[in-house]
Amino acid sequence: MTEAPEPPSPELDQLHRELEAIRTDARLLFEGLTDSRMTWRPAPTLWSVLDCIVHLNVTNGHYVELFDRAIAQAREKGLLGKPPYRKDRLGLWFAGFLEPPVKTRVKAPGKFRPLPGVTPERARAEFFDWQGRIEDCVRRSDGLDLYRVRVASPVFPILHFSLGQAFRGVTAHERRHLWQARRVLADPACPTA
């Protein structure tokens, strides 16, 4: 008789639920959203819904690359562990800072700014592709010590977060910009079609 595989840790189970909630929120956001509403900006210097989504896609690309590398290196080094995992204070603060509602606005670093020329259709498709790739990283991290595995910040490489807190930072960041996109659509000047 073979043993059933162990369920994922509570931390990973929570991340899976958060990622599913983000996908659901994005589907609802995109439902019936016209290109004109998606590309409308409340002001020339403010982001459109499209800008928010493209920014998330660009940012997630950087993080998935870091996650892939950290997971592979952790497996090679045998950095295994079981919950509960310790939390790193810097990572906890950072994830909390990113959560909506936004209290402090921060200008996105150059490499995380929305790329020009991305169509709404492409941005939506890439968003869900990145969600699948993040979900895969979370799945592949099962069994690793989510505190001992470290990930360098793609913005400030001298800062390192635990893998678990880096995952939390990504989900908080996604909620932040989906919240921002909803605020753009709620602006009374936003086109209705």
Partners of residue 111 on adjacent β-strands:
none
Model confidence pLDDT, tens digit, residues 110-132: 889 998 999 999 999 999 999 99
d(CA 82, CA 148) in angstroms, rounded, equals 11
Nearest to 119 by CA among 28, 41, 193, 51: 51
- pLDDT given for residue 159 in this prediction: 86
Helix%, strand%, coil% for the chain, nearest 5: 60, 5, 35
- pLDDT given for residue 10 in this prediction: 86
pTM exceeds 0.85: yes
Model confidence pLDDT, tens digit, residues 57-85: 999 999 999 999 999 999 999 999 887 77
- pLDDT given for residue 4 in this prediction: 47
Where are the chain's structural domains?
10-186
Superfamily of domain 10-186: dinb family like domain (1.20.120.450)
Contact (CB, 8 A) for 68 and 62: no
